């Protein structure tokens, strides 16, 4: 497999979150730097810290995390590894879940919870202001405008620079944008799950960053001899890296944030930024995944 030999630099292109945060389009998701079930510390703390430092050394300057990863562990590791943060590094974190235990996620969009979550993230990340703070999920028991409203208040107080939304519908995105400028959306999106295509279309149209979570999923497309396997062999890489290259080609606002707990896998993922898929290869993957076009308008 190919590995990254040079810094990411401009290979993935750049994108502006708001009008002041320029990031390389391939970021890093820090969820996997925790224990099993996204709970507790990582099995190898030294390797987790090395992954974060290597990511920045390779040119990644968008690090995505959440207070619920661990909980708290991911944010603490980021600060331990990277503080004081190099110029240009953008930390995006999220709040809106309670974590009763491993693999357990309970929405909590109460304004009081979100205010406490922001204060906790500021302390753990050693920041005075969070670059991008995302509402992790709508809470069905809390009016959506109350949850977003709490973040708007925190933004006015100078504790949040930009607001992002996660796991939203187009209607929820529109509602949030009526209350404040929204710079990004983080929804599940990959070769095998494109249910959020309508949200991506809005983001593409309006130049909002789209951070696809679970970006490496390939499902049945990864079977030997299939289009994904054939294309990966042609580029002398793995199916996961082709899946990332496909995402980067899918829309100019796409900001994949693949996560890993090893430096080796990190370097393989970064190498995906240099893969140039042909129009024919994009059409093959789109057809295999049930899509009809090579890119969004």
Q: Among all residues, which ones are annotated catalytic? A: 69
CA–CA separation, 139 vs 112, rounded Å?
13
**E strands in 116-251:** 130-135, 160-166, 182-186, 209-210
CA–CA separation, 147 vs 141, rounded Å?
11
Under DSSP, the state recorded for 124 is H
Contact by Cβ (8 Å): 173, 141: no
**Distances, alpha carbon 291 to alpha carbons 77, 218, 252, in Å:** 38, 14, 17
Contact by Cβ (8 Å): 190, 217: yes
Contact by Cβ (8 Å): 249, 282: yes
Which distant-in-sequence residues (6+ apart) come within 8 Å of 150 by Cβ?
A: 111, 114, 115
CA–CA separation, 217 vs 130, rounded Å?
29
Contact by Cβ (8 Å): 199, 185: yes
Q: Supply φ then ψ for residue 24, to 5 degrees.
A: -70, 145
Contact by Cβ (8 Å): 30, 67: no
Burial class of 188 by CB neighbour count within 10 A (0 to 12, 13 to 18, 19+):
middle
Question: Among all chains, which residue has been given the structure tokens 């391939």?
Answer: 26
Q: Which two tokens stand for residue 102?
A: 């491993």
């Amino acid at each position: 497999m190919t590995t990254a030999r040079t810094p990411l630099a401009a290979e993935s292109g750049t994108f502006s979150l708001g009008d002041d945060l320029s990031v390389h389009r391939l970021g890093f998701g820090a969820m996997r730097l925790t224990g099993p079930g996204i709970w507790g510390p990582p099995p190898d703390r030294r390797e987790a810290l090395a992954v974060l430092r290597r990511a920045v050394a390779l040119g990644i300057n968008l690090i995505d995390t959440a207070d619920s990863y661990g909980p708290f562990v991911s944010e603490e590791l980021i600060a331990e590894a990277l503080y004081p943060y190099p110029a240009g590094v953008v930390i995006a974190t999220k709040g809106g879940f309670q974590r009763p235990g491993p693999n357990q996620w309970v929405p909590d969009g109460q304004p009081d919870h979100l205010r406490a979550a922001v204060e906790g993230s500021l302390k753990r990340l050693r920041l005075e202001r969070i670059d991008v703070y995302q509402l992790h999920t709508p809470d069905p028991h809390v009016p959506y405008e109350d949850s977003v409203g709490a973040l708007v208040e925190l933004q006015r107080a100078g504790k949040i620079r930009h607001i992002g939304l996660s796991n939203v519908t187009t209607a929820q995105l529109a509602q949030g944008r009526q209350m404040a400028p929204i710079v990004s959306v983080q929804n599940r999106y990959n070769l095998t799950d494109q249910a959020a295509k309508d949200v991506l279309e809005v983001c593409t149209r309006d130049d909002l960053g789209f951070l696809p979570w679970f970006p490496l999923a390939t499902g049945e497309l990864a079977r030997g001899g299939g289009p994904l396997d054939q294309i990966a062999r042609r580029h002398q890489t793995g199916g996961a890296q082709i899946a990332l290259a496909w995402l980067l080609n899918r829309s100019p606002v796409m900001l994949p944030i693949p996560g890993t707990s090893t430096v080796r896998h990190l370097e393989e993922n970064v190498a995906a930024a240099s893969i140039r898929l042909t129009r024919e290869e994009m059409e093959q993957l789109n057809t295999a995944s049930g899509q009809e076009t090579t890119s969004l308008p």
